[in-house]
Amino acid sequence: MSKDMSFEAVMARRPETMKKAIGIDYDVFESGSIAFDYERMMRETGYSLQQMQKIQSETGVGNTPVYELRNLTALARKFAPKGKGARIFVKDEAANPSGSFKARRAATACYHAKKLGYKGVIAATSGNYGAAVASQAAMRGLKCIIVQECYDSREVGQPEIVEKARKCEAYGAEVVQLTVGPELFYSFLRLLEETGYFNASLYTPFGIAGVETLGYELSMEFREREGKDPDVVVVTNAGGGNLTGTARGLIKADADTQIVGASVDLSGLHMASDTQFNRKSFTTGHTGFGIPFATWPDRSDVPRSAARPLRYMDRYVTVNQGSVFYMTEALAQLEGLERGPAGNTSLAATFALAQELDEDKIIVAQETEYTGAGKHIQPQLTFAKENGIEIVIDDPKDEVPGENIILPKDPSYIKTKDIDLNKIKRSYIRNCIKNTKVDSVTSEDIEFLVKDTKSSEEFVKKVLDELKVEY
């Protein structure tokens, strides 16, 4: 009798499919309620920092350079109050084999898949991770399939996503391109069942462990170079793995560093909307991923996500689309570094935040990414105009995502906007209650929520009281 491949049946088999495709029994870390043993999961199913460094070194991943952006620092100081204007640095993750920090995650995933005897790997991603998995799979002698959410119903694809498909295919991967909607995850699950390949998810413990080397490197590099840790590290935030891994690496180095998440403000646009899909000019590093994944990390393609950004985030800011485009050009013309938009999201925030800090402080934009035909400013802005987006030069604070892109009149207009982290934390606790369908919580649950929101028992209990949840 043939297996039922209807949408409902495939989705219903998700737990067993995922268990077979990852090799982790997530149930052993569960408490039966909200809490689960996160640190035990990371410890028993991930890799140590030293193991990760060895694995990554085998395929040329990691130990990327750090550049001091002296010209951008000087520019920031022109607009900063007297005595302000921290030194701006960037960690050049474009130096990794596939051109982004995600090579660190993919290196572990592909190593682990090979170790467990899988013949190939599959990843569902429209971003740089696809290229990273394809590259690492090629190095490990594995087959690779990348599933992309690429087109709207008119079969029109964003230049950046199409560029990433080209890069994946260049590494020998098969790319399955889909229209926006629920078919992405359905197709992903079907392929996992049909092929028996490894699920190279972004959100496994070993994937996040791969990024820990980045945070650890930052601390070691700055201690050797400047005699101290960076004061602030700004991380482009989408699904939370970049921030989580970097922060955990800094913690393992005992670094005294503030962690700031930065996302492009795409508020008002729904990421799963066919009509709005091509009205955004950023495919990652924006609030359409950053907010939902912060308020419910376990929406990912594994039962429990190892990416839990609220555990580590000290501050969360947004920048507008136009400011990131502006900073992309500024980085190229002032510093001689032509890089793609994702890393320049954190750089735009870094430029603004540097003006709040004293001149002797160090602030680091934690990553860069490669650039290519579809990632450049001109094709992105041309595509926006073709989809009815107005391009203007004015004050970015008036930008309305999906309607216009406002390039700043001059660098003084590049600003960040703070997101209320307590509001995000409340939403996360609310989602915990809703998705686990509990009406009372244990002391273990409360302890978990305190850690998962980087808050206090008083804060958590206050939110539970508002939700009328017993404890």
Looking at residue 1, its pLDDT comes to: 57
Q: Is the pLDDT of residue 345 over 70?
A: yes
Q: Give the pLDDT confidence score for residue 395 in this predicted structure.
A: 97
Radius of gyration of the chain measured on its C-alpha atoms: 21
Residue 207 clears pLDDT 80, i.e. is over it: yes
Question: Is the Cβ–Cβ distance between 346 and 367 less than 8 Å?
Answer: yes
Instruction: For domain 59-97+206-418, give its CATH number from 3.40.50.1100, 2.30.110.10, 1.10.1060.10, 3.40.50.2020.
Output: 3.40.50.1100
134-187 per-position pLDDT tens digit: 999 999 999 999 999 888 888 898 899 889 999 999 999 999 999 887 788 889
Which neighbouring-strand residues pair with 418?
317
pLDDT of 277 reads 87
Strand order in the sheet with 258-264: 66-68, 87-91, 362-365, 232-236, 258-264, 315-319, 417-418
CATH class for the domain made up of 7-55+100-205: alpha beta
Distance CA 386, CA 373 (A): 17
Q: DSSP string spanning 85-97?
A: -PEEEEE-GGGST
- Residues 379, 404, 270, 431: is their CA dihedral positive or negative? positive
State how far Cα 442 lies from the chain centre: 31
CB of 380 closer than 8 Å to CB of 251: no
CB 295 within 8 A of CB 378: no
Give the integer Cα–Cα distance in Å for 468 and 421.
Answer: 22
- The CA–CA distances, whole Å, from 407 to 301, 327, 328 equal 36, 10, 12
Structure tokens at 324: 């990131």
The Cα 338–Cα 323 span in angstroms is: 16
Q: What is the mean pLDDT of residues 14-37?
A: 90
Give the CA-trace dihedral at 131, 209, 290, 188, to 10 degrees.
Answer: 50
Residue type, 385: K
Cα-based distances in Å from 338 to 320, 327, 329, 371: 20, 11, 8, 7
User: What's the average model confidence in pLDDT over 192-210?
Assistant: 94
Q: Cα 429 vs. chain centroid, distance in angstroms?
A: 21
Query: What tens digit of pLDDT does each residue of 400-410 get?
Result: 999 999 999 99
Segments in 157-277 forming alpha helices (H): 159-170, 183-195, 205-226, 241-252
CATH 3.40.50.1100 in the chain is located at: 7-55+100-205, 59-97+206-418
Cβ-contact 262, 349 below 8 angstroms: yes
Residues 6+ apart with CB under 8 A from 198: 21, 22, 23, 109, 112, 113, 116, 118, 120, 121, 122
H-assigned helices in 59-173: 70-79, 102-116, 128-140, 159-170
Q: Are strands 417-418 and 315-319 parallel, antiparallel or unpaired?
A: antiparallel
Round to the nearest angstrom and report the end-to-end CA distance of the chain: 49
Query: Is 46 a residue whose pLDDT tops 90?
Result: no
Q: What tokens appear for 294 in the block?
A: 């912060």
The Cα 204–Cα 105 span in angstroms is 9
Torsion angle of C-alpha atoms 219, 136, 167, 233, degrees rounded to 10: -10
Residue 185 to residue 52: CA distance in whole angstroms: 29
Tokens 């003084």 -> residue? 412
What's the token pair of residue 170?
């260049």
In percent, how much of the chain has pLDDT > 90?
81
Query: What pLDDT does residue 195 have?
Result: 96
CB neighbourhood size of 316 (10 A): 25
* pLDDT at 48 > cutoff 70: yes
Quote the CA–CA distance of 185 and 12 in Å, as a whole number: 12
pLDDT at 264: 97
Show the tokens assigned to 298: 């376990």
Q: How many CB atoms lie within 10 A of CB 78?
A: 11
Inform me whether the pLDDT recorded for 436 exceeds 80: yes
pLDDT at 303 over 80: yes
CA distance 53 to 249: 12
